[in-house]
Chain A
Amino acid sequence: MITLGETGTRFHTIYRRVVGRGFATATLTATLLGVVMLAVLMFDVFRDGAHEVDGDFLTSYPSRFPEKSGLRSALLGTAWMLGLTAAMAFPIGVGAAIYMEEYAPNNWLTRVIQINIANLAGVPSVVYGLLGLGVFVRAMELGRSVLAGSMTMSLLILPLIIVASREAIRAVPDSLREASLALGASRWQMVSRTVLPSAMPGILTGTILALSRAIGETAPLITIGALTYIAFDPQGPMDLFTVLPIQIFNWVSLPQKEFHSLAAGGIVVLLVVLLLSNSVAILIRNRFERRRY
């Protein structure tokens, strides 16, 4: 299968070396291209937007006057959406993971659920928006509320939480389960007092990463009709709302330069929020890894 061609000539040796070096350089260049692109993106966004971020920017409502505009309703909306999403997606996701790892019999139904979860992870987020629009906004008549948005977002990130939690649960050694059962624990006692405490750091890491995804998602919330202009604080789960990425999208879509700069400011805030949440996830993971032995 491998044809090496003529060997031996001096020219050929040099040729082979040049090609080899060239190829190695090409692979390195390609890898660095991704890194450079990331750096350029960060630099561009911070250069455009860092000067916008101040106390007023964080505490003012959006406005048609760029100099008075701020992120207040978007930040509150994101907080509401995140809280409700976590309250729904975390217990359901972990429950599903426990079922799949600790209870599910090896039958066709289990396999269907498993394949189904894998497929759901690949569904475009805008399709979840259509689901939320059809089921939560219209059929359940929740309207364009933060609750409807959070339910949509919960379904979107459930596969992520389930997959991460299953991995964390699977990593708990069987000896712990056996010890627990040998002492007379029932299955749920074994799961709740032995498996879950051990798996919790992994589960939390996965959940925080999934929630980070929810913070940045825009399309499904636009599809269910989350408003782009909100100049009041959401007071409850049935209120209309907007979130950070939608506010950014709204500003990017306006033609005036001043609003573009606000959008960049919003992006800086969004990236800082994501950085913080990811750092928390990494901290939890590191602590867990150190504790192991």
Chain B
Amino acid sequence: MSEMIQAPRRGGVEALGDLTSRGPARKRRAIIERAIQAVLFACAAISILTTFGIVATLLGETIQFLRQVSIVEFLTGTRWTPLFASKHFGVLPLVNGTIAVAFVAMVVALPVGILTAIFLSEYAPTRFRSVLKPILEVLAGIPTVVYGYFALLFITPILREIFPQTGIFNVASAGIVMGFMILPMMASISEDALRAVPSGLREGAYALGATKYQTVTRVVVPGALSGILAAVILSISRAIGETMIVAIAAGLQPKMGFNLLQSMETMTAYIVQVSLGDTPQDTIEFQTIFAVGTLLFLMTFVMNVVSDWLVRRFREAYE
């Protein structure tokens, strides 16, 4: 505490000398102040430049790409073979694979995440909660390449025991593991939403004779629905953008259909596949990763904006 009081005094006394003196010293101080402010603004402006950079890079290469491939073929074609002799540029197989993996991830993360949120917010004793939460957060901090290893070498062999037709690379194991990766985010945003429901509503339900189960499922959860929806959308967005798990465990075969025990390629895995190869730059093969990246960016961007809007709505609703 004493340190904190001392610090401003030291700074202040020197400052007094600077600012009360007239003439050049004061002018110099003002120039320095303005320069510092400009530098700090430049730091903040880098975030804007980053966005510009992303949009410009993606659009620039995508426009080059679309000069050679019609946008209709790109968005509606069902064959994706840019690296083969007979080239087809229909992105739908990659979108199909992305959705399939995200679907499996949500089958895991949605129920487990919401139930976890309900437990942490409504049932868990404070002490238990303060131990459990950091442990669950660890799941979010594990590098995705570790999850990829776990999916390929732990989950897949188990799946192959149960379903012998399972491929070495398959959508299911990548999706299951991804579900656990996004679980902490799903649970944490949902929990915030549940906690934001005023306790008066719970007490009202109890006063009407509702059990705890009835209060939770018919009052608290419906009251937190917009926040839970935000958590779901953000989780899907995270699942769509996740790269290493699918690149390791889901395989590199662009395919239509919904056989979750077989290999499929996602948009992100395709970007990794091309980056690892020695595709020459300034060719159409190379431009495809930017076109796919643009689509990925747009999909996640829209989802993030929608979920942000929903979060703000539930915060406003109870203030």
List residues of chain A with CB under 8 Å of any chain B CB: 1-2, 4, 7, 16-17, 19-20, 23-24, 26-31, 33-35, 37-38, 40-41, 44-45, 48, 91-96, 98-100, 103-104, 112-113, 116-120, 122-131, 133-135, 138, 155, 158-159, 162, 176, 179-180, 182-190, 192-194, 197-198, 212-213, 215-219, 222-225, 228, 245, 248-249, 252-253, 260, 263-264, 267, 270-271, 274, 278, 293
Contact = CB atoms under 8 A, between A and B. Distances in A.
Chain B, interface SS category: helix
Contacts of B208: 2, 4
B85 interface: no
B11 to A, nearest CB: 3
A248 B54 contact: no
A134 B40 contact: no
Given A31-B115, A45-B149, A186-B33, A119 B11 contact: no
Interface of B: 1, 4, 7-16, 18-20, 29, 32-33, 36-37, 39-48, 50-51, 53-54, 56-58, 60-61, 111-112, 115-116, 118-120, 122-124, 132, 135-136, 138-139, 141-150, 152-154, 180, 183-184, 187, 205, 208-214, 216-219, 234, 237, 240-244, 247-248, 268, 271-272, 275-276, 281, 289-290, 293, 296-297, 300-301, 304-305, 308
Chain A, interface SS category: helix
The 5 A-B residue pairs with the shortest CB-CB distance in the complex, in nearest-first order: A183-B12, A124-B241, A216-B143, A193-B11, A95-B43
Given A113-B45, A126-B241, A186-B19, A118 B308 contact: yes
Contacts of A125: 241, 243
Nearest to A40: B154
B119 to A, nearest CB: 4
Contact of B41 (A103, A122, A129): A103
Contact of B44 (A113, A179, A190, A278): A113
A116 B47 contact: yes
A98 to B, nearest CB: 5
B149 A113 contact: no
Contact of B32 (A185, A188, A197): A188
B151 to A, nearest CB: 10
Contacts of B51: 116, 119-120
Interface-centre pick from A19, A28, A94, A197 (highest chain B CB count, 10 A): A28
A248 B150 CA distance: 12
Contact of A30 (B32, B58, B115, B142): B115
Contact of A96 (B20, B46, B60, B135): B46
B180 A34 contact: yes
27 contacts: A2-B214, A31-B124, A31-B136, A35-B132, A41-B154, A45-B150, A95-B44, A96-B44, A96-B47, A98-B40, A113-B44, A113-B45, A122-B234, A123-B241, A123-B300, A127-B296, A130-B271, A158-B46, A158-B47, A158-B50, A183-B8, A184-B15, A212-B141, A223-B289, A245-B244, A274-B143, A278-B141
Contact of A92 (B46, B120, B240): B46
A20 B150 contact: no
B48 to A, nearest CB: 6
A222 B43 contact: no
B248 A249 contact: yes
Contacts of A194: 7-8, 11
Given A184-B12, A197-B7, A270 B143 contact: yes
A130 B143 contact: no
Contacts of B20: 184
A143 to B, nearest CB: 12
Given A48-B153, A245-B145, A38 B50 contact: no
Given A41-B142, A222-B272, A4 B209 contact: yes
A95 B257 CA distance: 49
Interface-centre pick from B13, B139, B146 (highest chain A CB count, 10 A): B146
B143 A20 contact: no
Contacts of B136: 31, 34-35, 38
Contacts of B42: 95
A34 B41 CA distance: 42
B281 A179 contact: no
Contact of A179 (B8, B40, B41, B308): B8
A281 B122 CA distance: 30
Contacts of A134: 53, 56-58, 60-61, 290
Contact of A186 (B18, B43, B112, B187): B18
B273 to A, nearest CB: 10
A183 B135 CA distance: 46
Nearest to B114: A30
B44 A100 contact: yes
A35 B111 CA distance: 15
B145 A126 contact: no
A221 B107 CA distance: 30
Given A184-B18, A270-B143, 17 more contacts: A16-B211, A26-B115, A41-B146, A44-B153, A92-B46, A95-B42, A95-B44, A99-B41, A113-B45, A122-B234, A123-B297, A126-B272, A183-B16, A186-B19, A188-B33, A218-B143, A219-B247
Given A30-B112, A99-B43, A228-B276, A44 B154 contact: yes
B15 to A, nearest CB: 4
Interface-centre pick from A40, A94, A252 (highest chain B CB count, 10 A): A252
Contacts of A135: 53, 57
Contacts of B53: 131, 134-135, 155
